[in-house]
Chains A and B, each alone.
Chain A
C-alpha cells in the first residue's frame, strides 16, 4: 500500500470524536453530532456540506466553543478548549470569529455601522494589553472598511440603509476587526442573490490571501463550496461520510451520498441529456437514525450488510476518508495512483466494528 499522507504541521483546529446531544422531551435524545473527527491546517479552507439538519452549524458552534459539546474534544492551536471556562477562553476568542447567514439579524439596527464594527475593538484589549484609544480604533475602522470594499461614509450610517450584500460586508468587517486566525462562516452567502453572492465569495477568497486566514466554510451549495474550499467534508445525520481534497471529492465522489448530492444539484447549463433519477425519500430524523449505515434506506448501492453494520470513516489510498462499505472507486484510475486491485474492482473490506 502507498504510505498515508503525513500531516507535517500541527492543525489550527481539530475535533476528536466530537458529540453533541440535545434532550428533546419524553426522554428522547437528538444526536446532532455523533463522533466527528477532523483537523484543519492553518491557511486551509474546509468546506462543510450536507442537507439541513445534518449538523453543520452545530459543528461550527462547537469548534468556536459558542456551545459546549457533550463529548469528545476540540483543540485550537494545540490547546484543548473543550471544557475551558469562558474567562480563560476570552483571550482565545480574538483568534476565532464567526460570520452568519442572516446579515440583518446579526446587526443591532439602532447603532451606526462604525459602532458595530468597533465593538470587538472596545471589548477586547489590544495585543500588548490595555485598551485601544479612540485614534487607534478610528484608524482600524478605516482599514476595515477598505478591506471589505465599503466606503468610509458607511461608518456613520445604519444597517437598514444597506443591501444584503453590503450588510454581509459589514458583518465580515466586524469578524475581522481583531485580526482572527480562524473564521467559521455559516452559510454566509445563502441569503444573497447570485450576482451579489459572487462578490462576497470573491471577498472571502481575497481576504484569505491577504490575511492568511483559515476558514471553515459552511454551505449547502456545493458549487460555492467547491469554489472556495481546499478540502471538503460531507455530513449526513450528524456524521462525516466523506472528507478529502475538494476537487477529488466533488469530481469523483466515493460515497454514494456525496454522489447523490452532486447529481441532485440543478446546473444552469443547456441540457442535452436526461436527468438522473432522484434519490428516494427524505433525510430521516436524527432522533431515530436508521441502524447500520445511516444512509442505507436511501442508498442506491445498499447491500445486506449495510443495514446492520455501521461503516466507520477510513482512509482510502488517495488520502480521502470515506464511511461506506462499498465506496465508488476507480472512476478515474490515474487519479488514484497505487490503488490496490481489490479496491478498484470489488467491494472493499471495511475495518472491523468497534
Chain B
C-alpha cells in the first residue's frame, strides 16, 4: 500500500498573520493520495481548500506565514524545501490548474507558443518538435482543430477551450500529480461535464493522480474516488466517495447534503438548512468547529474531536465514539 501512495499529507497546519497575530487557517489536515487516484477536497467558501493546495505546492508567500506538519510526495518531504527545488518540482512533477485560465496564460502570446515554451523549459527539444507535441496534447484534450487553436490568443478562445488549453499546458510535462482548484466553477454545466470527463480520463491516459478542489458536492460525487470534507480549516470527514455520500458520518456532511435541493423525486416543502454561517478562522471555537450550528451538539463537543473511524470513513465527531453514530441518510431510491 505504502508503495502506491503518491502524496501523504500529515497534520498540515498553515497559520497566517491576521491583525498582528498568527491565526491557524488550516489545522492538522491529513490525507493520502494514491497513484492514479482522484481525491476531492470539498468545503464551503473560506474552509481552507485553496490554502491547503497552495501549501502543498509551496506557494504560500504571505510574509510571516507558518506552514508545519508533513507533505511527503513520492517519499520526499516537501515542507521546508528550498524555493528553488520546489520550483523545479512544480510544472514537472506537480502541476496546477485554476478556476480562471486567464491567470495561467499571458495575453500577449498565442496559447500554442506558451505551451511550447513550457515543454521546452523542461526538455531540450526543438521548437518544431515542441509544437507537434502541443498540437497532440490539445487534440487529446478534446480541442477541435488543435493546430488552428494553438495559433490563437487566450482571449480568442471560449471558456471551455481555454480550460482545455490550460489542462494541456499543465499536462505537457506529464506530471504525476495534478492539483485542480475549482477548474469548472466558471463554466456552464454542459462544458463542466466535458471537463470532468476529461479529468476522469487522465489517470487512464496519462497515469496522473488528481487533487480536485471544489465547493460542489455533485462534482465530487461524480468525479472522485475518495473525498475529504473541510469545515472551517479542519477535516470534518474523509473516506470513499460512495460510502460518504450514501452514509455520511459527520453531522456537517449530512446537513450539507440535505440542504441541496434535489433534482429528482418529490420536492421538499422547505429545504432543511443549516442555521448561521461557518466561523472565520479567528473566531473558530476551541472544541468542535461545527458546534455552533450542529443540531447534535452536547457537552462533549467542547473538546476538539479527533478523527475516528465510522463505517468506511473517518469522522471528526464525538458521536461514533459515544456509540450513537448518525442514522443512515434517507436517499430516495431513484437517486441512489
Chain A residues proximal to chain B, CB less than 8 Å: 51-52, 163-165, 193-199, 201-202, 205, 220, 222-224, 226-227, 247, 250-251, 260-272, 275, 277-279, 281-283, 298
Tell me the complex Cα distance, A269–B247, Å.
10
Closest B-chain residue to A205, C-beta based? B270
Does any Cβ of A come within 8 Å of B79's Cβ? Answer: no
- B44 and A195 contacting across the interface, CB-CB below 8 Å: yes
Mark out the residues of chain B between 128 and 158 whose CB falls within 8 Å of any chain A CB in the assembled complex: 144, 158
The answer to whether A251 touches B264 (Cβ under 8 A) is: yes
Expressed in whole angstroms, the Cα–Cα distance for A129 and B282 within the complex equals 51
| A279→B278 CA distance, assembly (Å) | 36
Q: How far, in Å, is B189 (CB) from chain A's closest CB?
A: 4
Bound: A193/B301 CA distance, A: 25
* Contact between chains at A268 and B217 (CB < 8 Å): yes
Q: Is B255 an interface residue (CB 8 A)?
A: yes
CB–CB B188/A52 < 8 A: yes
Task: Pick out which of these stretches binds chain A: B13-21, B111-119, B193-201.
Answer: B193-201
- With the chains together, A205 CA to B260 CA distance in Å? 15
* Cβ–Cβ contact A198 & B189, under 8 A: no
Q: CA A283 – CA B160 in complex, angstroms?
A: 10
**A201 CA to B267 CA in the complex, in Å?**
13
Find out whether the CB atom of B221 lies under 8 angstroms from the CB atom of A269.
yes
Q: Can you identify 22 A-B contacts, CB atoms within 8 angstroms?
A: A51-B189, A194-B217, A195-B255, A195-B274, A202-B271, A223-B261, A227-B261, A227-B268, A264-B192, A266-B216, A266-B218, A267-B222, A268-B221, A269-B331, A270-B242, A270-B246, A270-B331, A275-B222, A278-B190, A282-B159, A283-B188, A298-B190
- Kindly identify which residue among A220, A227, A279, A298 contacts B267, using a CB–CB cutoff of 8 Å: A227
Interface of A is mostly: helix
Residues of B near any A CB (own CB < 8 A): 44-45, 144, 158-161, 188-194, 196-197, 215-223, 241-243, 245-246, 255-257, 259-264, 267-268, 270-275, 277-278, 331, 335-336
Q: Contact at B257–A220, with CB atoms within 8 Å? A: no
Query: A96 vs B217: C-alpha distance in the bound complex, in angstroms?
Result: 35
Rounded to whole Å, the gap between the CB of A33 and the closest CB of chain B is 19
Look across to chain B and name the residue whose beta carbon is closest to the beta carbon of A50: B188
Contact residues in B for A194 (Cβ distance below 8 Å): 44, 215, 217, 256, 259-260
- Within the assembled complex, what's the spacing in Å between the Cα atoms of A94 and B59? 51
B42 to chain A, nearest CB (A): 10
Contact pick for A268, options B159, B197, B218, CB 8 Å: B218
Given contacts A202-B273, A278-B197, contact A261 B189 (CB under 8 A): yes
Please determine whether A271 and B242 come into contact, CB atoms closer than 8 angstroms: yes
How far does the alpha carbon of A270 sit from the alpha carbon of B335 in the complex, in Å? 8
Which residues from chain B contact A202 at a C-beta distance below 8 Å? 270-271, 273
Pairs A-B, 7 closest by C-beta atoms: A266-B218, A198-B273, A268-B217, A278-B193, A51-B188, A198-B259, A227-B261
Which residue of chain B is the closest to A268 with respect to CB atoms? B217
Shortest Cβ distance from residue A48 to the other chain B in the assembled complex, whole angstroms: 15
Which residues of chain B have C-beta atoms less than 8 A from A250's C-beta?
263
Contact, CB under 8 Å: A198 / B190: no
Which of chain A's residues has its CB closest to B197's CB? A278
Complex Cα distance A298/B144, Å? 14
Q: What's the minimum C-beta distance from A162 to chain B, rounded to whole angstroms?
A: 10
B189 touches A226 (CB 8 A): no
Instruction: Report which residue of B160, B261, B335 has the largest number of chain A beta carbons within 10 angstroms of its beta carbon.
Output: B261
Given A194-B256, A227-B261, CB of A266 within 8 Å of CB of B196: yes
- Nearest CB of A to B259, in Å: 4
Across the interface, B193 reaches (CB within 8 A) one of A52, A198, A251, A279, namely A279
Partner of B261, one of A165, A201, A251, A275: A201
Residues of A within 8 A of B194 (CB): 278-279
Expressed in whole angstroms, the minimum distance between the Cβ of A55 and any Cβ of chain B is 14
Chain B residues with Cβ under 8 A from A279's Cβ?
Answer: 190, 193-194
* Chain A residues near B255 (CB-CB < 8 A): 195
- Chain A residues lying within 8 Å of B336, measured Cβ to Cβ, are 269-270, 272
Q: Provided the pairs A199-B273, A201-B271, A270-B241 are in contact, do residues A223 and B190 lie with their beta carbons within 8 angstroms?
A: no
A195 touches B331 (CB 8 A): no
- Cα–Cα distance between A262 and B192 once the two chains are bound (Å): 13
Question: Given A195-B274, A227-B261, A250-B263, is A266 in contact with B219 using a C-beta cutoff of 8 Å?
Answer: yes
- Contact call A265/B245, Cβ cutoff below 8 A: no
Whether the pair B260, A264 counts as a contact (CB closer than 8 A) is no
Please give, as numbers and ranges, the residues of chain A lying within 8 Å of B221 by CB-CB distance: 266-271
- Which chain A residue lies CB-closest to B242? A270
The CB with the most chain B CB atoms within 10 A, among A247, A266, A268, A269, is that of: A269
CA–CA, A278 and B164, complex, Å: 15
Bound CA span A260–B255, Å: 29
Contacts of A226 in B (CB 8 A): 261, 263, 267
Nearest residue (CB) in A for B272 is: A198
CA distance A347 to B255 in the complex (A): 45
Nearest Cβ on chain A to B272's Cβ, whole angstroms:
7
Nearest A residue to B200 by beta-carbon distance? A275
- The listed residue with most A CB atoms (<10 A of its CB), out of B223, B257, B270, B275, is B270
| Chain B hits for A263, CB < 8 A | 193
> A250: nearest residue on chain B (CB-CB)?
B263
In-complex Cβ contact of A227 among B264, B271, B275 (8 A): B271
Cβ A266 vs Cβ B264 within 8 A: no
How distant is A308 from chain B, measured CB to nearest CB, in Å? Answer: 23
Contacting pair B259 A197 (CB below 8 A): yes
Least distance between B263 CB and chain A CB atoms (Å): 4
Chain A nearest CB from B140 CB (Å) reads 16
Contact of A266 among B161, B191, B192, B262 (CB under 8 A): B192
- Separation of A195 and B190 alpha carbons in the complex (Å): 24
Min CB–CB distance A250 → chain B (angstroms): 7
